[in-house]
Structure 1
């Protein structure tokens, strides 16, 4: 029973991570029309920075988490610029003829 519970929890956590990654890809594609795979690189950068702060520099976990999520992630996130193709423009309203 312990093994079943362990694998159930691990499966739920991994499924949650997959759904967050998929949501990011869908959001990027729907708003810009470009399929962007940069989410993995940004996640790896944040993970490496967190590991470096806690293991190499000996920072407490809470401080490293605040620095990575609150300072580094917004600082090195790619700029959000609308594409030149006009995908972000509001769609025209449809008028029905009466």
Structure 2
């Protein structure tokens, strides 16, 4: 009987650490372009890059919990219709304007 009780308590303790994420937890802002994933960069200034040509628009927004996007021009952060610009300085960097501010997305 002791072993059953100890086993049950161990199960409860271990399973409580595997709970799903809640709405208040943060997720990486991601978009997919030409089969590659690009994540938002928080600690870099947009002034480091020059906006080049428009390469497309976000076609679909999925829930923030999705980080493995299956289609191109899909994001778990950017709204549908958000314009995506190439960077003159780095082919692995894209710029998008959200709420009046340009944000940087770098290839993983």
TM-score interval w.r.t. the shorter chain? under 0.3
Higher-RCO chain (CA-CA 8 Å, sequence separation at least 6): 2
Using the size of structure 2 for normalisation, the TM-score is 0.25
Q: Which has the higher strand share?
A: 2
Using the size of structure 1 for normalisation, the TM-score is 0.26
